[in-house]
Homo-oligomer: A and B are copies of this chain.
Amino acid sequence: MIRNRQILLASRPQGEAGLDNFSLVEQDLPGPEELAEGQVLVRNHFLSLDPYMRGRMNDSKSYAAPQPLGAVMLGGTAGEVIASRNPAFQAGDSVVGMGGWQEHFVVDASQRGVLNKVDTRHIPLSAYLGAVGMPGVTAWYGLTQIIRPKAGETVVVSAASGAVGSVVGQLAKARGARAVGLAGGAEKCRYVVEELGFDACIDYRQHPDLASLSQALKAACPDGIDGHFENVGGLILDAVLLRANAFSRVAMCGMISGYNGEPIPLQYPQLILTNRMKVEGFIVSEHMELWPEALKELGGLVATGRLKFRESVAQGLEAAPEAFLGLLKGRNFGKQLVKLV
């Protein structure tokens, strides 16, 4: 047996989430000698923290079943096989899976996709939770399957310095489009333009009302907006619609501005009609058939240094709740991880 520390969902947030919604517990896990046929024991090196987790803390109807109360927080992990009774894995393998917020987990790895071996020779392990993982594929899907930018078009993305947004803009640039980001604060905006290569980035904190934000978008997008990748919603989506071109496309990926239950009405839905727009929501886990193609492009770009990313790394399992709450407030810079080893 081995001792395993976990973080559970202790209670559902009323409005904003807080530290008291989580609890840290210890449990006993089967040790290497106690594994059943097909099982693998994994030590998590990194936990992925992602905005979608906030939605699952609520008890309301959403695309996925709510996170169960009293159960370990769900989430992607990257780690190392400690012991295996599965012929496809052996001790020392680098793997990614849905290990949750805990230090170890045991999984029956017989079912395809539950645990995936990854190659860390050219790509760092943590990147498989970011640019070469779910966030990267999310960016790839929304950009290439919904926005489908043509060279010369303008693509806007909110939360542009984050794990998803940073990839959206770089992929758009690689396709010859103009990439314009929205991010919170001058430092993030500088990073988005100078490091990631976006054409412009708007600090939305400097534009707290619709008229001001819309004006900033007009300046940054002199030819209007042809594609928009939405991670935030609310005021940002309103402002984008006011600058949207005919036949523009909006990929709806996240609406973090409403995750605490705040009303986030869309002020001018009639623009979808007058601009003959297409607005489409998606969840990347429902399009698994495209992951191999996406991961091939993303992995190649990361391995050759053409796709850049940044990570915020919290240290130790007990730091996960605080880091997660920070992510919801935009305190992270790039992909938010928790390092356990």
Q: Tell me the complex Cα distance, A175–B117, Å.
A: 47
Residues B275 and A63 in contact, CB atoms below 8 Å apart: yes
Interface size on A, residues (CB 8 A): 33
Residues B264 and A265 in contact, CB atoms below 8 Å apart: no
CB neighbours (8 Å) of A279 from chain B are: 272, 278-280
A61 interfacial contact with B, CB 8 Å: yes
Stretch at the interface among A180-188, A253-261, A293-301, A308-316: A253-261
Residues B278 and A63 in contact, CB atoms below 8 Å apart: no
> Contacts A265-B269, A269-B233, A270-B233: A278 and B280 contacting too (C-beta < 8 A)?
yes
Please give me the residue from chain B that is nearest to A254 by CB atom.
Answer: B273
Q: Tell me the complex Cα distance, A233–B61, Å.
A: 24
CB neighbours (8 Å) of A61 from chain B are: 274
Q: Tell me the complex Cα distance, A266–B254, Å.
A: 17
CB neighbours (8 Å) of A276 from chain B are: 63, 280-283, 286
Q: Tell me the complex Cα distance, A280–B250, Å.
A: 10
CB neighbours (8 Å) of A233 from chain B are: 269-270
Q: Taking the nearest CB of chain B, how far is it from the CB of A116, in angstroms?
A: 24
Residues A258 and B270 in contact, CB atoms below 8 Å apart: yes
A267 interfacial contact with B, CB 8 Å: yes
Q: Tell me the complex Cα distance, A278–B252, Å.
A: 10
Q: Taking the nearest CB of chain B, how far is it from the CB of A246, in angstroms?
A: 7
Please give me the residue from chain B that is nearest to A242 by CB atom.
Answer: B61
A263 interfacial contact with B, CB 8 Å: yes
Residues A270 and B264 in contact, CB atoms below 8 Å apart: yes
Residues A274 and B281 in contact, CB atoms below 8 Å apart: yes
Q: Tell me the complex Cα distance, A253–B277, Å.
A: 11
Residues B286 and A281 in contact, CB atoms below 8 Å apart: no
Residues B278 and A255 in contact, CB atoms below 8 Å apart: no
CB neighbours (8 Å) of A246 from chain B are: 63
Q: Tell me the complex Cα distance, A335–B267, Å.
A: 31
Please give me the residue from chain B that is nearest to A281 by CB atom.
Answer: B273
CB neighbours (8 Å) of A282 from chain B are: 276
Q: Tell me the complex Cα distance, A252–B237, Å.
A: 18
In chain A, positions 179-226 with a C-beta closer than 8 Å to chain B are none
Q: Tell me the complex Cα distance, A253–B275, Å.
A: 11
Please give me the residue from chain B that is nearest to A237 by CB atom.
Answer: B269
Q: Tell me the complex Cα distance, A233–B267, Å.
A: 12
Bitwise, A46-81 to B at CB < 8 A (1) or not (0) is 000000000100000111000000000000000000
Q: Tell me the complex Cα distance, A62–B62, Å.
A: 34
Residues A263 and B267 in contact, CB atoms below 8 Å apart: yes
**8 residue pairs, one from A and one from B, having the closest CB atoms:** A273-B281, A265-B265, A266-B266, A266-B269, A252-B273, A279-B279, A255-B270, A272-B281
Name 9 extra pairs, CB < 8 A, besides A265-B265, A278-B279: A63-B273, A254-B273, A264-B270, A265-B267, A265-B268, A272-B281, A276-B280, A277-B281, A279-B279
